[in-house]
Structure 1
Amino acid sequence: MNRREYGLLRELPEGRGRRIGAVLFWIMLKGAPVWLGPVLMGRIIDLGGMEVPDVGKLVLYTALSVFLFVQNIPAAVCYMGNLVHLTRGIGRDLRIRICRQLQVLSLHYHSRNSIGALHSKAIRDIELVEQLPKLVVEQGFGFFMALLIATVSILVRKPEALVFFFLTVPACALVSSHFRKRLDVSANRYRKSMEGMSLFLNEMVTMMPITRAHGVEEQQLRTVESGIHSVFERGVDFDKLTQLFMAISWVVMGVMQALFLGGAMYACFKGHISVGDVVMFNLFFGTLSNSLANLLTFVPQLLQIRESLGSIAEVLSAPDLEENSGKPAFESVRGDFRLEQVRFTYPGAEAPALRDLSLRIDAGTSLAIVGPSGCGKSTLLSLLLGFVRPESGVIRLDGQDMQNMDLRSYRRQVGVVTQDPVFFSGSVFENIAYGSEDVGREQVLQALEKAHARGFVEELPDGLDTVLGVGGARLSGGQMQRLSIARAIVRDPRVLILDEATSALDMESERVIQSALDELMKGRTTLIVAHRISTVENADRIALLENGRLVACDSPRELLTYDNFYSRAVLSQKGKARGTGGQG
């Protein structure tokens, strides 16, 4: 167990002392018939060999035995009630911690880790960890209590018999050590195959429209089925190894118990112990061996739990955090940006995505970011949103170094319209008002009106209350884009980011939406990324990027006076338009 796993394991019982104490108290009462029963049974049997029957002791021992069994019912109910609260509480708190951690981990971390793997950590891995308290209490604590009571009883009656008890433990430990590493490796492979299958299934569902459109269902199925077969094969390997381990452990226990019973009877023949002692010793040995066998049986499960602890700790201790707590917040945002010699390289990349970029964006102005694919447009937007931090240089917002500020206060005053709008399975109203708790229905309707979306929304079955479905499945691409614009409008942002905001619209819809966007952009700092010239030609300035460098930044009119990427793109699109018109 590495330091991260051990650290998380130590944190699990924190704040749960009273609940753990209650669980241990009630399991001692619940297990009393198993742990104390052999003593009473041995004494009852010995009463049968007395020359003068002691009826009083017989009644006492019998009554105690009956009481031990009857009290098991309320003790079991109380034990399970406390255990359930303990295990479910651990699962609840771990899921909350993971969700909180995912919210502060950088977007780069999320881009490196699949959704399926993160789902597996938050669901399957935590389900396994929830079982740990039950295993520790019922198997570990149960074995300890059985060993303690058996040891004390045998020390009182026949100390020599302890030799067999203490030989049993190293014999089982030898079996466990032989299989532990192989089981550990097998459990690791099984967990990773489960995460891989989750990834394949998630991609299959996400890619369904594209898969159907290209007619590659069989190819996609082969990919998913390979993940399912991998889980099957790894699971079979793990189960076979587990069964072999359990069988050998059971045989070792059985052989040791047979030898112990034979030795106890021989001691009885010689008159060293009574028949009652033989029964008591054998029951104790059976209880102890069963507890130890059960403990060993759960070794494979404990190894799976260890894998899950490592998987969860990997998220909780990930260093790729966006630290905002404790930093000063922006009380208001004007949208005045200054970039000074900014450089950024993605981890693992050979060349920087942006090189020594200096740029000024005045508050209330619009800047279009233009350039060929891979030139750094998306990286620049990510830097301006604070999703990634520059490796060198400074980005200032309203005169403040963004690295020293609580960026959440800034982003609350940002509106974003992206190329691929994201919607959750809620109503139209909930999706548009997302993140704006004080927004009412009338404000949403006004935003829809400005985004030219009110008409089709009112035609939906339940209007604003129509549930969109996962990812906005009920809407066309153009409709989703208009709702995304309405969501930006309703926030009344100081900074507006348009990333291919009209890419999903036809030419007619684009003209309508562009008019709404032009109105929305007034008085706001607006950053535009687009390939359509019509989207950027009204910007105050255009920044041209090539190979991560800023090669020009001027008004659209000035850029058309000399050869550059923008002027060539304008000529190309106008040429295509004339060609299309001529063909018509």
Structure 2
Amino acid sequence: MLPIVTANLINMATKPDKYSTSTLWWNIGILFVVIVQNVPTQVLHISYMSKAIRYVEASLRSTLVRKLQRLSMSAHGELAAGRLQSKVLRDVEAIEFLSRQMMLSVLPAIVSVVVAVAITAGKSWTVMLFFVLTIPAGVAMVTFFRKIIQRTNSDFRKQIESMSGQVSEMVGMMPVTRAHGLQETEITKIDSTLSKLRTKGYRLDIVEAYFGSAAWVTFQTFQVLCLAFTVLLAFRGEIPVGDIVLYQAYFAMILGAITQLINIYPNIAKGFESIYSVTEILLSQDTEEYRGHRKLEEVGGEFDFRNVSFGYPDSDRHVLNGFDLQVKAGECIALVGASGAGKSTVLNLAIGFSKPTFGEVAIDGVPMDELDMTSYRSRIAVVHQNTVLFSGTIRENITYGLPSVSEERLEEVIRMTYLQDVVAQLPQGLDTAVGEHGGKLSGGQRQRIAIARALVRDPKIILLDEATSALDNESERYVQQAMQKLIQNRTTFIVAHRLSTIRDADRIVVMKRGQVAEIGTYEELMAKGGEFYRLKQLQA
């Protein structure tokens, strides 16, 4: 509206005899209304746009988190934590910025071009055709730089992910780094990555600078030509003098819109690169292998491993090969053997983290292919060798995932895991924060909290992967007593390297090269003088 009213006013000033005073005031009134209406309409526009974009941003992060929860454990093993954080935080932020640019810049620019060309066409087809020539110039500019910008954006994003992963790894390695005086080694490693990031970022900035400056020169040249062209038409008397301002304003509007699109194109390219990065997770097919829906009303704990073989996708070697084992409900099974014999793989099969390459695992006579994993896993408890705590309180870590645990039950579990003295020494007792990954506690204290977390769930099936490895002798004695109470009438799998800790197991399975080498009670295997006896002698 502004160019039309401005042209009208100039035409009135140059030829006042053709216009009345009321026409002048009508144009000024319209101009005033057009300007003032911007306040309510802009607020409404931003309000609706912000709600939509913020909703998409939150929903996209929620979708990513849900997909991460459905990815297989092998997929998580390949994805560095730093890279995942970069995707969930930086890439989603870039997509949100892309959405905002589309709403604030791209759509208004397109509307401006369409309106300007339409109004100009209504007044002069000759000028309109001149305007239309600028659009191929803009398309040619974007086409020329598109692949270069995409490539530099992709390189920069991947370097950002690499740096994020290295920083995350550096923080996790801090105790080892400090203990060996390797601070300078880590600094040098990070500095090398930062140097590469700086180089790729500089290269991206230079490409964008060439792109922006070339666009500016091209369209400024077009604007000068437009001014000369419309002045020539007015000089010949083909258009009124005021229309020079009108056409110049609309041409400036078209150039401004195209220049705006070109200037934000690098940001749009970044947004689409982030979309590609996020879809690496969203479209990943490496999800939970078990997708059954059958929910067992009661889990008895009977296991049947039938001719199970297992190998990782990128390896020809089988970790398990023809593994057979029948476990009765309530039985305690200890798995022993050298590193790499397949003990932890058996636990992962029992949890459902891994699916056999050949053979089948059945629980209470039901193949795991048919089971709903979430329902099944809610009946089991797992204590890993590497204790996993989150940065909450001791109470929150013990009752993780359980909305209501009575104080009596909590105190009972604390006594069973020999934590009462630890809790009594802390300033806020059970409500003391443990720090990131439990960093404020000792290794033994963290492991006892993990065992307490298993105890409080009252599980039907228990899987212990070196659960007492970080405990001192006194704490281990108390925890072993608690374990004896815990495993009563519950199916238990214990992976242990210290063979003295599994003396009371119902059966000991000795594994060698992914197969069962021996099986029997502690006394039977010692009397046999075979593989178990040899392992025991090595620890004597």
TM-score, structure 2 as length reference: 0.97
Task: Give 2:240's aligned residue.
Answer: 274
CA deviation after TM superposition for structure 1 residue 137, in Å: 2.4
CA deviation after TM superposition for structure 1 residue 288, in Å: 0.8
Q: Which amino acid aligns with 1:47?
A: M
Task: Give 1:43's aligned residue.
Answer: 8
Matched, 1:108 2:74: yes
CA deviation after TM superposition for structure 1 residue 468, in Å: 1.0
Q: Secondary structure at the match of 2:244?
A: helix
Runs of 4+ displaced beyond 6 Å: 323-326
CA distance in 1, matches of 2:248, 2:421: 83
Residues 535-570 of structure 1: CA distance to partner in whole angstroms, max 9, x if unpaired? 222211111221212222222222113343321121
Task: Give 1:321's aligned residue.
Answer: 287
Q: Secondary structure at the match of 2:300?
A: coil
**8 Å contact from structure 1 (residues 164, 256) kept in 2:** no
Q: Which amino acid aligns with 2:453?
A: R
Matched, 1:538 2:524: no
Task: Give 2:62's aligned residue.
Answer: 96
CA deviation after TM superposition for structure 1 residue 326, in Å: 6.7
Equivalent of 1:565 in 524, 531, 535: 531
Residues 203-235 of structure 1: CA distance to partner in whole angstroms, max 9, x if unpaired? 111111111112211111222222222222111
Task: Give 2:381's aligned residue.
Answer: 415
Unmatched tracts of structure 1, length 5 or more? 1-35, 575-584
Q: Secondary structure at the match of 1:561?
A: helix
Give matches, 1:252-291, under 5 Å: 252-291=218-257
Task: Give 2:52's aligned residue.
Answer: 86
Identity of aligned residues (%): 35
Q: Which amino acid aligns with 2:298?
A: S
Give matches, 1:377-456, under 5 Å: 377-456=343-422
Q: Which amino acid aligns with 1:445?
A: E
Task: Give 1:345's aligned residue.
Answer: 311
Q: Could you say if the C-alpha distance between residues 383 and 185 of structure 1 is closer, same or farther in structure 2, counting changes exceeding 3 Å?
A: same
Residues 259-288 of structure 1: CA distance to partner in whole angstroms, max 9, x if unpaired? 111011001100111111110000000011
CA deviation after TM superposition for structure 1 residue 145, in Å: 1.6
**8 Å contact from structure 2 (residues 380, 460) kept in 1:** yes
Matched, 1:74 2:40: yes
| Greater displacement, 377-386 / 549-558 | 549-558
Task: Give 2:270's aligned residue.
Answer: 304
Residues 62-97 of structure 1: CA distance to partner in whole angstroms, max 9, x if unpaired? 111111111111111111111111111110000110
Unmatched tracts of structure 2, length 5 or more? none
What's the Cα RMSD here?
1.3
Task: Give 1:487's aligned residue.
Answer: 453
CA distance in 2, matches of 1:476, 1:507: 15
Matched, 1:204 2:177: no
**8 Å contact from structure 2 (residues 212, 262) kept in 1:** yes
| Greater displacement, 561-570 / 473-482 | 561-570
**8 Å contact from structure 1 (residues 157, 277) kept in 2:** no
Q: Which amino acid aligns with 2:252?
A: G
Q: Could you say if the C-alpha distance between residues 174 and 52 of structure 1 is closer, same or farther in structure 2, counting changes exceeding 3 Å?
A: closer
Q: Which amino acid aligns with 2:297?
A: E
Task: Give 1:475's aligned residue.
Answer: 441
CA distance in 2, matches of 1:227, 1:512: 48
Residues 104-161 of structure 1: CA distance to partner in whole angstroms, max 9, x if unpaired? 1111110010001111111110001112232222322222222222122211211101
TM-score, structure 1 as length reference: 0.90
Task: Give 1:7's aligned residue.
Answer: none
CA deviation after TM superposition for structure 1 residue 323, in Å: 6.3
Task: Give 1:25's aligned residue.
Answer: none
**8 Å contact from structure 1 (residues 331, 409) kept in 2:** no
Q: Which amino acid aligns with 2:28?
A: T
Q: Secondary structure at the match of 1:504?
A: coil
CA deviation after TM superposition for structure 1 residue 359, in Å: 0.8
Matched, 1:334 2:264: no
Q: Which amino acid aligns with 2:444?
A: G
Equivalent of 2:482 in 502, 505, 516: 516
Q: Secondary structure at the match of 2:527?
A: coil
Equivalent of 1:215 in 176, 181, 186: 181
Q: Secondary structure at the match of 1:342?
A: strand
Residues 458-510 of structure 1: CA distance to partner in whole angstroms, max 9, x if unpaired? 22101111111111111111111111111111111111111111110122322
CA deviation after TM superposition for structure 1 residue 350, in Å: 2.0
Query: Number of paired residues?
Result: 539
| Greater displacement, 512-521 / 459-468 | 512-521
